[in-house]
Amino acid sequence: MKKNFLISTGGSGGHVIPAMILYQHLSKETNVIISTDKRGLRYLDKDNLPVEVINTPKLNNIVMLPINLFITLFLTIKSFFLLKQKKIEKTFSTGGYMSVPLILAAKFLMIDIYLIEPNQVLGRSNRYFLKSCKKIFCYSDEIKNFPNMHKDKIVKINPLVRENTYNAEKNFEDKKKFIILVIGGSQGASFFDKDLKNSIINISKKKTIKIIHQTSEKNISSLKDFYSDNNIENIIFSYKKNLVDIIKEADLCITRAGASTLAELSVLNIPFIAVPLPTSKDNHQLENANYYKKKDCCWIIEQSGFKEKIEGTLNYIIEEKKDYQKKKNNLKKLNYQNTWINVNQKILKSLNEN
């Protein structure tokens, strides 16, 4: 008989995407339920997945704090009965306040708790439950803000990327055309729209390029018209379920520094310019980017200097091919023996040890 597991997630793609990938790893051998808040539903195929909605409120609004605490208590009780009804034996959390009711209920029921930390900085929710968890899956054993007394709980795994990413075959490289991919992350990055396009025009006068640009739904039409009017081949989109089909076309990516995006670029062997979100909690996006920078796999431009630096950086990358190729080679070395099966076996082995 298969065991029953539950994965708690929600919020942005940075939380939900690793949860979906973990679901793929676990669902072949176990029965897995995914719990999410309403925001996380946009990333889930709720018609074909066992999804439960636990819509946890934020607790950072002082005025609403008493009401939100009461709602969180109610959701913890709801989670308690959900875990008992579904006979859940292990719970997993990808972090964030969204998971608090379920993990509190699991703790009360003495159900095994496992945490997933995709970032290079320990998240606050994961830190709170670190003492109660069996193991925490991390992409590095040098996570910032990680208490030394709990480092024995770290299970280092290769980054969680979708199975089809490993199987993606990169399109044949077009020597005459340089393809630049722009990814703003699950929240979009409006400053890319306004601070990048003029530099792209200038670059296109020296080199034939194609631009693939993620933007908000409302900006698709205007951005597409801008590039088309300037005779630049383009694909403009907001959200695509199979993003890997677009990523694999790129020669270079300009991106935020979410852990999932950087992991997929890394596996696909695509060098990138990381522009960390300056408001990310505990500056975790900068630390995510620095992980790859230290391995000489990427370039970093801070948002405050992006407009002034991006054109020169792009010119350098296109003209200084040795540095670009070195970063591609370093990404290849970094992902040596990084396969779906290896990650799967590491996770399952850790679960079977407890």
Quick: pLDDT tens for 145-197. 999 999 999 999 999 998 989 888 665 565 678 999 999 765 556 778 888 98
The rounded mean pLDDT for the chain is 91
Within this chain, do residues 66 and 15 fall inside the same structural domain, yes or no? yes
Beta strands in the chain (DSSP E): 4-8, 31-36, 51-53, 90-93, 112-117, 135-138, 154-156, 178-183, 209-214, 233-237, 252-255, 272-274, 298-300
Segments forming the whole domain that contains residue 50:
4-158+338-352
Residue type, 52: E
Q: What confidence score (pLDDT) does residue 64 get?
A: 85
**170 in the same domain as 153:** no
On whether both 321 and 182 belong to a single domain, the answer is yes
Specify whether 214 is located in the same domain as 154: no
Co-location of 206 and 312 in the same domain: yes
State the pTM of this model. Answer: 0.91
CA angle centred on 13, ends 347 and 101, rounded to 5°: 70
Q: Where residue 109 sits, what CATH number does that domain have? A: 3.40.50.2000
Q: Is 296 left (phi over 0), alpha (psi -120 to 50) or beta?
A: left
**pLDDT band for position 320 (50/70/90)?**
confident
Asked if 37 contacts 98 with a C-beta cutoff of 8 angstroms, the reply is yes
CA gap 9, 153 in Å, rounded: 21
Q: Are residues 12 and 76 in the same domain?
A: yes
- For the chain, the helix, strand and coil percentages under 3-state DSSP, each to the nearest 5: 50, 15, 35
For the record, the structure tokens of 102 come out as 């379920």
pLDDT of residue 210: 94
